[in-house]
Amino acid sequence: MKKSFGLLYVIIGASLWGTLPIFSRLAYAAGSSAVTAAAMRAYLAALLSLAWLFARRSRWHLSIRAIPFYLVYGATGIGGTFLFYMMAIERLSTAMAVILLYTGPAFVILISRLAYGEPITRAKALALACTFAGSILVVRGYDPAALSASWSGILIGLASGLSYSMTTVLGRIAPQKNAPGVNASLMLVFGALVFLPLQPPWQIPLPSPALWLNYLALAILGSVLAYALYLKGLSTGLDGGIASLVATIEPVLATLLGALVFKDLLEPLQLLGMVIVLSGIVLPNLRLPGKSAVFSDPA
């Protein structure tokens, strides 16, 4: 039951992440650059997190020995993810940017094997294969011309996936230090430090009302609430690889919103790629009445 709630937290958090491409592209249309949007998202999320931490200052503790961990956690899970993901959205379609971000589960499974000895089961291998195969179709890997034309964007998208995987990989250590909400807040606070040399807040022009709304949406929905819910799901003991795979529900929502708001067009093979990626989530966990998962591994 506890892990069932964990799955629910992960799904809701990932659904909030699914709004990121929409507010990012609206911010770009209103005059923001990708780096500025990522920086404002990080700064506003950090300020909100600091306010929340201050209000609960008697309920958490940050030791000097824990600071290096949160610096690395924030720099990778927040700084790298924010920057590379929003740069990818600026250069690629919504679907391509989101799917490349969600090569993260593959990185999680591989790194968790090396770092924690977490087994790569048949179910995970199936999901991993679906993620790779589906991603290749979604980024139009079947069209060499299209692939080479956006090579830099694809590399940036893969960098966002690697950075995003650190949220889960290091998130397994974080519960030992503080409660999930505190860990998420500290991660956001330390992650914002990455942007100080890239886009200092005092050098950012005063945003227009439209930009403020988009920046706040990026910070509140796609950062503070999303990360708090995701880490809450991990704190229930949910397997890191499974959590990152379940969170791949984000591309569905992001792509649907992109099609509705921006009229993004998807080729049939790209749609097939999305189905394959989603199959990687559903099939290994599909259960029949009175039976275990269809693709479960033997005990």
Q: Which residues of the chain have pLDDT under 70?
A: 1-3, 94-95, 139, 145-149, 175, 281-299
pLDDT of residue 288: 40
CB 193 within 8 A of CB 78: no
pLDDT of residue 292: 44
Q: Which residues contact 298 (CB under 8 A, 6 or more apart)?
A: none
Which residue reads 């964007």 in tokens? 153
Distance CA 78, CA 38 (A): 10
pLDDT of residue 298: 40
257-262 LR contacts (CB < 8 Å, sep 24+): 257/18, 257/19, 257/21, 257/22, 257/94, 258/21, 258/22, 258/25, 258/93, 258/94, 258/95, 261/22, 261/25, 262/25, 262/94
pLDDT of residue 212: 96
pLDDT of residue 146: 58
pLDDT of residue 299: 35
Q: What is the pTM of this model?
A: 0.80
pLDDT of residue 20: 86
pLDDT of residue 286: 53
